[in-house]
Chains A and B, each alone.
Chain A
């Protein structure tokens, strides 16, 4: 029996390495293409000039004002999206759990509804809404964050739902209330810290989605990072590709680091 199992394990590990290697080659090919493209000069020699340009922050904001503006706008959008998403979802989902359980299916339905409304469709419908937003708040790119919250809603809902399921919100909030805390204090100092991992992953999803968003910004003619990259790709493709590769590597490093944080907390729970 153990002989069979050892054979199987050996076979599994061969299969694992073959499949993973093949997929990694496919994943690596375009990334290598980006690296190759950004480290070549006009004569085809290797050069680090593009990356040197990108590291020089002042140079970038001087030579590529659109890219700098797009980057600033995307960072602002990411912050606004995360804040609005958390302020909207965490209290509502907690409140529904505590006081209005009858509404939970409605809230779930509304949160998952954007899955059936693609971004391109949302743009079509949002045109009149955004003419009002522009009328009241002005034409700044940052207000696109309101639409991005809708795009993030299903993913944020799912990860927050998992987090809320894992804790006993009712007991926690009652304990807080009976010790004299108001609802605001309960949310900020009791519920939120207990949802740390869920909030973190929801926020990461929101940031990733916001930094990668192109459809809505492009069709509303606003400049965020992706739109700036798209237009820069037509004039100075190397810098544009370098920005794309850098943001991808950055996102991967954040997620890779998060996977260690997320993996540690359950074991800590077990030992305590």
Chain B
């Protein structure tokens, strides 16, 4: 009561001084986040002619229908979906396995710390690690060649639907562990005991109790993994040196020297396309996350 009265008095007396406190944050976010976003959104609809003059137009958006862009988008979607599903399934198993260990045991700490690092390990070093392992002179390539299993010399590593998928899994599985472990830890032993007391088997417990509780978290984590793979640039850029098989690489290409005159803003249209895809997935994620967190309140 007194609290609301005081807040009302404060708001009535000096609203401007309270608002002053958040001005730096809003200015910063406007300059470095909102303005760039607007540049992309507006730029996508402005055509630059050969002379540099601009005007509202759908030319850039229409350019998205070109086969180079659609195939890049398609590859990105497939790569993200496959690595998200595979990473989520494997990561979920790993998370469950780790959750059965002692909470402050070394195994748990070791695995979560390792996964915390590996989930952020995308980029140049990751590409090099796989080159040193599966590349032309990598030790596993030599091993496989000496046993006669693989004699392609590791060329598959550079293909988006083989090597890149394996490389992406290397940060997807750890990310899944980080995201999904709290949900698995939320499964209380009492629920299992209750199911057992009522005569349920392990299978019944997993099907009727654990799976429905974990499902929203699982789908949410899956979506997070999808956006993670979809927006990744560094790893692919460091591994793929020719062509732009993925959408982020295609956008990066428009920023480099390869720009055709009058096409500068096609990159912005592609960037907008990316934001639309990611925003749609994240909206779905937010809705699912709200539902999933119902069981996680402790």
Check A147/B32 contact, CB under 8 A, given A212-B121, A214-B123, A229-B124. Answer: yes
Shortest Cβ gap from B19 to chain A (Å) = 7
Check A118/B130 contact, CB under 8 A, given A27-B114, A252-B113. Answer: no
Segment 246-275 of B: residues with Cβ below 8 Å from A: 248, 251-252, 255-256, 267-268, 271, 274-275
Picked from A124, A150, A263, the residue with its CB within 8 Å of the CB of B39 is A124
Shortest Cβ gap from B23 to chain A (Å) = 9
Shortest Cβ gap from A136 to chain B (Å) = 12
Which residues of B lie under 8 Å from residue A103 when comparing CB positions? 22
Does A245 sit within 8 A of B, measured CB to CB?
yes
Asked whether, in the complex, the Cβ of A33 is within 8 Å of the Cβ of B130, the reply is yes
Distance, CA A150 to CA B30, complexed state (A): 11
Distance, CA A61 to CA B248, complexed state (A): 34
Segment 107-129 of B: residues with Cβ below 8 Å from A: 107, 109-114, 116-118, 120-126, 128-129
Check A31/B231 contact, CB under 8 A, given A121-B275, A125-B37, A233-B124. Answer: no
Count of B interface residues, CB-CB < 8 Å: 81
Which residues of B lie under 8 Å from residue A209 when comparing CB positions? 120
Does A16 sit within 8 A of B, measured CB to CB?
yes
Q: Map CB proximity to B onto A123-135 as digits: 1 under 8 Å, 0 otherwise.
A: 1111111000000
Asked whether, in the complex, the Cβ of B133 is within 8 Å of the Cβ of A32, the reply is yes
Does B66 sit within 8 A of A, measured CB to CB?
no
Which residues of A lie under 8 Å from residue B25 when comparing CB positions? 88-89, 92, 107
Asked whether, in the complex, the Cβ of A118 is within 8 Å of the Cβ of B93, the reply is no
Interface of B is mostly: helix
Which of A50-58, A71-79, A109-117, A189-197 interfaces with chain B? Answer: A109-117
Picked from B125, B139, B255, the residue with its CB within 8 Å of the CB of A124 is B255
Shortest Cβ gap from A236 to chain B (Å) = 12
Q: Map CB proximity to B onto A239-272 as digits: 1 under 8 Å, 0 otherwise.
A: 0110111011001100110111001000000000
Segment 183-233 of A: residues with Cβ below 8 Å from B: 208-209, 212-215, 218-219, 226, 229-230, 233
Shortest Cβ gap from A113 to chain B (Å) = 6
Count of A interface residues, CB-CB < 8 Å: 82
Q: Which of A247, A252, A263 has the most CB of B within 10 A?
A: A252
Picked from B10, B90, B138, B234, the residue with its CB within 8 Å of the CB of A214 is B234
Distance, CA A29 to CA B21, complexed state (A): 51
Does B36 sit within 8 A of A, measured CB to CB?
yes
Which residues of B lie under 8 Å from residue A126 when comparing CB positions? 32, 36, 39
Segment 79-93 of B: residues with Cβ below 8 Å from A: 90, 93
Distance, CA A117 to CA B251, complexed state (A): 13
Picked from A20, A29, A229, A248, the residue with its CB within 8 Å of the CB of B111 is A20
What are 21 inter-chain pairs, A to B, with CB distance below 8 A?
Answer: A30-B126, A33-B132, A33-B139, A34-B128, A37-B139, A100-B19, A113-B37, A122-B33, A123-B252, A124-B40, A125-B38, A125-B43, A127-B255, A208-B120, A209-B120, A218-B234, A218-B237, A233-B238, A256-B109, A256-B113, A259-B113
